[in-house]
Amino acid sequence: MDTEQPLIRISVRNLVEFILRSGDIDNRAAGADKDAMLLGGKIHRKIQRSMGADYQAEVSLKMKIPCQGFDLSVEGRADGIFRTPSGIVVDEIKGIFKDLEYLKEPEPIHLAQAKCYAYIYAVQQELEEIGVQMTYCNMDTEDIKRFQSAYQTKELGVWFLEVVGEYEKWARFQIRWQEKRNASIREVQFPFAYREGQKKLTAAVYRTIEQKKKLFIQAPTGVGKTIATVFPSVRAMGEGLGEKIFYLTAKTITRTVAWQAFETLREQALRMKVIVLTAKEKICFCEETECNPDACPYAKGHFDRVNDAVYELLNTTDAISREVIEEQARKWQVCPFEMGLDVSTWVDAVICDYNYVFDPNAHLKRFFGEGNKGDYLFLIDEAHNLVDRGREMYSAAICKEDFLKIKKLVKEEDPRLSKRLEECNRQLLALKRECEGCQVLDSAANVYLKLVSLMGEMERFLEECKNEEMHAEVLELCFAVRSFLGIYEDLDENYLINSELGEDGRFYLHLFCVNPARKLQEYLEKGRSTILFSATLLPVHYYKKLLSTSTDDYAVYAESPFDPANRLLLLGNDVSTKYKLRGKQMYRKYARYLVNVAKAKAGNYIAFFPSYHFMEEVHEEFLEILEDTGEDIDDVMQSPYMSEEAREIFLENFEDVRNRSLMGFCVLGGIFSEGIDLSEDQLIGAVIIGTGLPQVCRERELLKQYFDARGFRGFDYAYLYPGMNKVLQAAGRVIRTDEDQGVILLLDDRFRERRCQEIFPREWASRGWCSLGNVSEQIARFWEEKNGGETS
């Protein structure tokens, strides 16, 4: 009989950081020691090489501790082990920007990590005593400071087993919970009658997870892609094919849909712990998000209380919503954001924004930091958004004027820092003099070297500075510089370096990530399998190119379950949004189209425009026509920078019962062109004006040139595909359920072009043409056929 006990694994670093943390949250320090970027790895290797042939580098260590009902494996890698005349020494190396003069003793957590390695090695080698060396290296000057101590193995053992003992209740909770969870998963069935194609979709997701691959799913609205990806992922977890689900979204509303999918399965008695992570700025209890004990009572003593708060929460509820987190955080007087991150360690599914996985400045280091990986299942919703979000996360920029501003600020206070800032300013000034608008550069090595030197001085200054306002200004620049350095260290052929003189006269140096696929892949490889899905993942080769480096990814086109007869798709052949044709006459023509659509059948419509300016011009003409003709049509218009409350008020207009038409005026690609769910009579038509092409700008032109140079159709990659994605998203607002009926108008002569129609989804095969003269008649006829002659 197999009597092997369940095994729980934890890294040495995670163990000590979790059990031994204490005190306050305090983000006032620049925190350059936190994962100290990629520079830290280079410093490690350089120091290791300098220690001679007898120095063993990167020594893997592991100890299995038998516990009641399971085994606990504590694992990690010692940076170095070497012999001295007095015995064996374990070396732990930390690269930091902090001035070593201010380091009087090792950081307790760093020392605890080294002591764990020392104990494991001492037991394995049967040593009675062992030395510990903490090696700190300043990453600017490469100066080194070492702290040495010696421990009796027996003494280390008492301490080590006490730390492990503190962790044992958490490991036991994990074992017992997984048994309960897996037993419940075995009983769960797909919660609905399968729609057409949905069963094949769930099977494809399961097979992809089983084979540790990636799957791209083009799934039209109404396929039920959320439950079709969540259900097989849950089943796979129950069979040991995954340890945690990360459901990743770009927008809050899709997080709600994901939460509802898990709730639906919970109705069948599924036991899964699910958390929704909310951005710090939104969940913070304070008016200003200042994470330090002087400004926030929840930051003071947070780490002394948070583990107890988390343990209690895990043992009282499975559905961990924002409201649940806030209530628990208030009860225990801890930071709700940080507590939520801690809870995510122990749950089965995390619903969160893309940046918690992919953003090097915001990702969950406990899962995705250097050296961390697991059998994670990534479900990436609205995956078309990940292209631009990826570019944003892996790009960086610095501005010459920021260095000049901080130099003037600290000139009297700190001449040393002022000098470093001036050196950076001069390097950027030299590039500015060579730049005419925008210039692609081969390298920015000189600027990089000056920035590395500057980082050390900024860290020193931030340690010493007592002036809060000055501290905040320098800290902001420090973060920008660190981001720039981290990305510069990892530049490759997927990047462009360019300088730019902005319209405001400010000079920028950009590291522009043109193709984020490699960077995204680095994080996806930390998991087991990835499912990328969207209603608008067309053309799929474009998304495969920019979201994955694999050549053997799967792709599935899920057929729409909706009756195409419930939708009228018309292409207008007598209007254009081309710049040379824009003017009062064309705006008037578009306005007449909207009036004719609204007259043909009383109901709610949204017109989507290529820009706010275009929308406002047509809206003005629309109101004039109503005044001239006496037509009774309501209207509501999107405005820039709408608050959440304003958005809700806007959408409430579509819920009101009225006996005349409502025309909504919105911007294509804006907050109302994807993610909103207006079903049945709440929306019966969408008028899409223009092909959604992004405006010509520096970034788009760089993209075009980059892909042209590599043999791809640069215009399509930079403009056409992103633009048509907005069109498809906006059109998807109309037919949301089996009962929905509606009309979609595409008004721009460019929709007649072959390259646009190549991107149309399969379900758009049935389409017709219209003009201003016959659009009302065609729409009225469609509604007569649907409603037995009634059009109002």
Residues 691 and 593 in one domain: yes
Pairing mode of beta strands 214-218, 144-152: unpaired
Residues 531 and 586 in one domain: no
- DSSP assignment of 574-623: S----GGG-SHHHHHHHHHHHHHHHHHS-SEEEEEESSHHHHHHHHHHHH
- Cβ within 8 Å of residue 662, ≥6 positions away: 603, 604, 605, 633, 634, 635, 636, 653, 654, 656
The CATH number for 377's domain is 3.40.50.300
Residues 605 and 467 in one domain: no
Check pLDDT > 50 for residue 37. no
Flag whether 263 is in a domain. no
Q: Which of 560-564, 582-586, 652-656, 683-687 has the lowest mean pLDDT?
A: 560-564
Classify residue 77 by its DSSP letter.
E
Classify residue 315 by its DSSP letter.
T
Question: Does residue 687 sit in helix, strand or coil?
Answer: strand
Residues 627 and 684 in one domain: yes
- Cβ within 8 Å of residue 515, ≥6 positions away: 494, 545, 546, 706
Last residue of a domain, one of 501, 529, 560: 560
CA distance 338 to 78: 29
How many Cβ atoms are within 10 Å of 790's Cβ, its own excluded?
10
Model pLDDT, residue 41: 63
Phi and psi torsions of 568, nearest 5°: -110, 120
Flag whether 462 is in a domain. yes
Q: What is the 3-class SS of 469-531, one letter each residue?
A: HHHHHHHHHHHHHHHHHHHHCCCCCCEEEEEEECCCCCEEEEEEECCCHHHHHHHHCCCCEEE
Please choose, from the candidates 647, 652, 616, 653, the residue with its C-alpha nearest in 3D space to the C-alpha of residue 633: 653
The amino acid occupying position 214 is K
Classify residue 192 by its DSSP letter.
S
Flag whether 53 is in a domain. yes
Average pLDDT over residues 83-98: 88
Flag whether 219 is in a domain. yes
Residues 642 and 783 in one domain: yes
Check pLDDT > 50 for residue 38. no
Average pLDDT over residues 655-660: 89
Residues 418 and 530 in one domain: no
* Range among 364-368, 516-520, 785-789 rated most confident: 516-520
Model pLDDT, residue 33: 46
Q: 34 falls in which pLDDT band (50, 70, 90)?
A: very low
Question: Does residue 86 sit in helix, strand or coil?
Answer: coil
Contact 81, 56 (CB under 8 A): yes
Strands ordered across the beta sheet of 554-557: 319-320, 274-276, 349-353, 244-249, 376-380, 529-534, 214-218, 554-557
Residues 715 and 587 in one domain: yes
Model pLDDT, residue 337: 96
Residues 501 and 604 in one domain: no
Check pLDDT > 50 for residue 35. no
Flag whether 482 is in a domain. yes
pTM equals 0.91
Check pLDDT > 70 for residue 790. no
How many Cβ atoms are within 10 Å of 276's Cβ, its own excluded?
25
- What's the pLDDT tens digit per position in 690-709? 999 999 999 999 999 999 99
Flag whether 389 is in a domain. yes
Please choose, from the candidates 691, 729, 719, the residue with its C-alpha nearest in 3D space to the C-alpha of residue 577: 691
Check pLDDT > 80 for residue 44. no
Q: Which of 5-9, 354-358, 779-783 has the lowest mean pLDDT?
A: 5-9
Contact 438, 465 (CB under 8 A): no
Flag whether 486 is in a domain. yes
Contact 600, 783 (CB under 8 A): yes
The CATH number for 65's domain is 3.90.320
Check pLDDT > 90 for residue 574. yes
User: Given CA atoms 71, 77, 83, 89 in this order, what sign does their dihedral have?
Assistant: negative
CA distance 490 to 480: 16
Residues 15 and 42 in one domain: yes
Range of the domain at 750: 564-787
Share of residues in the chain with pLDDT > 70 (%)? 97
Using the structure block, give the residue that is written with the tokens 């087991």. 528
Identify the residue with better confidence: 581 or 391. Answer: 391
Using the structure block, give the residue that is written with the tokens 């094919």. 241
Flag whether 84 is in a domain. yes
Contact 329, 339 (CB under 8 A): yes
Last residue of a domain, one of 139, 172, 205: 172
Model pLDDT, residue 469: 87
Model pLDDT, residue 3: 58
- What's the pLDDT tens digit per position in 443-481? 999 999 999 999 888 988 988 888 888 988 999 999 999
Average pLDDT over residues 232-242: 97
Residues 341 and 356 in one domain: no
Residues 682 and 766 in one domain: yes
- What's the pLDDT tens digit per position in 168-214? 999 999 999 999 999 999 999 999 998 888 899 999 999 999 999 99
Check pLDDT > 90 for residue 51. no
Check pLDDT > 90 for residue 252. no
Residues 341 and 355 in one domain: no
Please choose, from the candidates 105, 179, 103, the residue with its C-alpha nearest in 3D space to the C-alpha of residue 138: 103
- What's the pLDDT tens digit per position in 266-312? 999 999 999 999 999 999 999 989 899 999 999 999 999 999 999 99
Model pLDDT, residue 554: 96
Q: Report CA 20 to chain centroid distance, whole Å.
A: 30
Model pLDDT, residue 139: 75
CA distance 634 to 658: 10
- What's the pLDDT tens digit per position in 718-742? 999 999 999 999 999 998 877 889 9
Check pLDDT > 90 for residue 509. yes
Contact 606, 644 (CB under 8 A): no
Check pLDDT > 70 for residue 152. yes
Last residue of a domain, one of 137, 172, 207: 172
Check pLDDT > 70 for residue 39. no
493-498: list long-range contacts, CB under 8 Å, 24+ apart. 494/518, 494/519, 496/440, 496/702, 496/706, 497/440, 497/441, 497/442, 497/443, 497/444, 498/438, 498/439, 498/440, 498/441, 498/698, 498/702
- Cβ within 8 Å of residue 317, ≥6 positions away: 324
Model pLDDT, residue 50: 80
Looking at every residue in the chain, the average pLDDT score rounds to: 92
CA distance 537 to 219: 8
Please choose, from the candidates 196, 254, 252, the residue with its C-alpha nearest in 3D space to the C-alpha of residue 230: 254
| Number of domains into which the chain is organized | 5
Phi and psi torsions of 204, nearest 5°: -65, -40
Please choose, from the candidates 447, 466, 444, the residue with its C-alpha nearest in 3D space to the C-alpha of residue 455: 447
CA distance 534 to 531: 10
Average pLDDT over residues 317-321: 97
The CATH number for 509's domain is 1.10.275.40
